[in-house]
Structure formats: C-alpha cells, structure tokens
C-alpha cells in the first residue's frame, strides 16, 4: 500500500530512540521528511545520521517541559521542512512507583513533561496546520487499564487520551485528524528499565509474554509502521481513535 507520505514533513518528539525513532524510520522509508527531537543532542545527532541525514532527516534537542520549547520546535520545523503535515507526540515515561510512594515532585515534573509540554506544542503548531494534517499522541495501555508500579502514567495517560479525543472534535471541521496510540510491551529501553526494576528481568519478561496472546514482546518497527499509517493520508477517515499496539494484551474492547 502506498501511504501517500512522499514529500510530506513531520515533526516528532522523543524520537531519538525507541518508539519515536521507529516511527521516524518508517516515515523516512516511505518518502517523508522528518524533524526529530529529544532532550539529548548527542542522541538526536545519532538518530539523524542513522536516518540518512538531510534532506530526509533533521534534528534538534528540546525538552517539552521547558516553556519555550514549543515555539522553538514549530519555528525550526517550518525552517527545515517547509509545510508541516503532521506531529508525533512522544515523551519519556514518568517516574516509576506506586501511588502512595511516589513523591509530589515526581508528580509535578510529570505533569510538565507528559501533559503540559505536549499541549503547549499542539497549541503552537495547530495554527500552522492545514487540511489533511495529522496529530498522533503516543500514550500507553494504561489509558484503559492500570499498569503495576506506574502510578503517574496510570493517572496522566488517560487524561491525555481524553484531551486527544476532544482535540479530534475541535479540529475535525478543519480536516485535521487527532489519534492516540497505546503501545503495550514493546522491546524498548523503557521496558528494559521496568524489567530491571523488578529485580529479576528474565522472570519479568516471561510474565509479560505469558500475558500477551501473541506470546511475545512487540518490536519497535511494528509500532512505527502503525504510527506511520495513522499519520498518513491512507488513514484519512480515522480520527478520535485510541489504537492499541499490544499484541492483544488489553482485555477491554
């Protein structure tokens, strides 16, 4: 299938590795141009080189928790890409821990990075988007069911999902689509950190895979292809959807 991505420009946050990078890879492989960002300048440089560099891939370091990051990213996206046709919003996972043992400082930091940062970027970019543009939020299966020891994610991801749903209503009349992706257990550094925190990574991996109907972890490329589809014109009648990429692990419809 031709996704219709040739020549289109996309801004991606949290995209120097993991799910964001996998999406950038899928977009570039299908002919799109990308501006990838993350907090680490070195990681961004490595990602851009791996994607082949200009004119297909550009990079910049940015922390969405910084109040001025949104406007700077939008300005740079237009300078590098010209027209921006879509946005992938991915941010690093918040601090781990149960509800009663998670500090207020960790909650405040997560609100800035997971909730307010993405919202600032959407508000800065939307005035520049035209009909056919697409916004995709990278969320988590915690949107629909809690994940053990991830209290902050369990609280903030559902709120961000409902915000994305509301944005789909607000932007739909302009022909701009907004969707969310709910990755489950995909083999990224973040999952490795969670497994390591359990004290027995091998046992944690085995428990996780036993609960997935496909009996395996997902690969980042599998997520990236799904994200690229939602960002593309091929998904032109899909908006307001929360799409699981979890091997069937979610038990809810």
Per-residue pLDDT of the chain (253 residues; tens, 9 = 90+): 789 999 999 999 999 999 999 999 999 999 999 999 999 999 999 999 999 999 999 999 999 989 899 999 999 999 999 999 999 999 877 888 999 999 999 999 999 989 999 999 999 999 999 999 999 999 999 999 999 889 999 999 999 999 999 999 999 999 999 999 999 989 888 778 778 888 888 888 888 899 899 999 999 999 999 999 999 999 999 999 999 999 999 988 7
Domain-embedded: residue 253: no
CB-CB contact of 86 with 133 (8 Å): yes
pTM listed for this prediction: 0.94
Domain-embedded: residue 102: yes
Domain-embedded: residue 250: no
Domain-embedded: residue 4: no
Residue 120 is predicted with a pLDDT of: 96
CB-CB contact of 11 with 125 (8 Å): yes
Structural domain of 210: 9-245
Residue 150 is predicted with a pLDDT of: 92
Residue 237 is predicted with a pLDDT of: 98
How far out from the chain centre does Cα 23 lie? 9
Domain-embedded: residue 28: yes
Residue 94 is predicted with a pLDDT of: 86
Handedness of CA 141, 147, 151, 155 (dihedral sign): positive
Point out which residues pair with 89 in neighbouring strands.
137
Cis-peptide, bond into residue 55, ω within 30° of zero: yes
Domain-embedded: residue 251: no
Residue 202 is predicted with a pLDDT of: 86
CA distances from 94 to 61, 105, 106, 125, 164 (A): 19, 11, 8, 24, 19
Please provide residue 250's backbone torsions phi and psi, each rounded to the nearest 5 degrees. -65, 135
DSSP 115: I
DSSP of 167-187, one letter per residue? HHHHHGGGT-EEEEEEE-SBS
Residue 196 is predicted with a pLDDT of: 83
Find the farthest-apart pair of alpha carbons in the chain and give their distance in angstroms, rounded.
50
Residue 190 is predicted with a pLDDT of: 76
Domain-embedded: residue 140: yes
Give the count of domains, the chain: 1
Per-residue buried b or exposed e for 118-146, using 16+ beta carbons within 10 Å of the residue's own CB: bebbbebbbeebeeebbbbbbbbbbbbee
User: Strand 57-61 relative to strand 242-245: parallel, antiparallel, unpaired?
Assistant: unpaired
CATH number of the domain at 135, please.
Answer: 3.40.50.720
Domain-embedded: residue 2: no
């Amino acid at each position: 299938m031709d996704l219709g991505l040739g020549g289109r420009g996309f801004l991606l946050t949290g995209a120097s590795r993991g799910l964001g990078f996998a999406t950038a890879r899928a977009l570039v492989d299908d002919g799109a141009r990308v501006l990838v960002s993350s907090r680490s300048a070195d990681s961004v440089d490595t990602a851009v080189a791996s994607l082949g560099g200009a004119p297909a891939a550009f990079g910049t370091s940015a922390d969405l928790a910084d109040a001025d990051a949104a406007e700077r990213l939008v300005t740079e996206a237009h300078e590098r890409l010209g027209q921006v046709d879509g946005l992938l919003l991915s941010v690093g996972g918040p601090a781990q821990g149960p509800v009663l043992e998670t500090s207020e400082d960790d909650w405040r930091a997560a609100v800035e990075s997971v909730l307010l940062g993405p919202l600032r970027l959407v508000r800065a970019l939307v005035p520049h988007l035209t009909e056919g543009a697409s916004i995709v939020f990278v969320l988590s299966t915690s949107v629909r069911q809690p994940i053990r020891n991830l209290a902050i994610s369990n609280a903030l991801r559902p709120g961000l999902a409902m915000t994305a749903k509301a944005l789909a209503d607000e932007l739909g009349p302009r022909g701009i689509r907004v969707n969310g992706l709910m990755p489950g257990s995909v083999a990224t550094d973040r999952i490795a950190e969670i497994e390591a925190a359990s004290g027995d990574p091998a046992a944690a991996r085995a428990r996780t895979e036993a609960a997935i109907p496909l009996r395996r972890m997902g690969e980042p490329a599998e997520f990236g292809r799904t994200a690229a589809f939602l960002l593309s014109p091929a998904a032109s009648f899909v908006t307001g959807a929360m799409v699981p990429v979890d091997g069937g692990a979610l038990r809810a419809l």
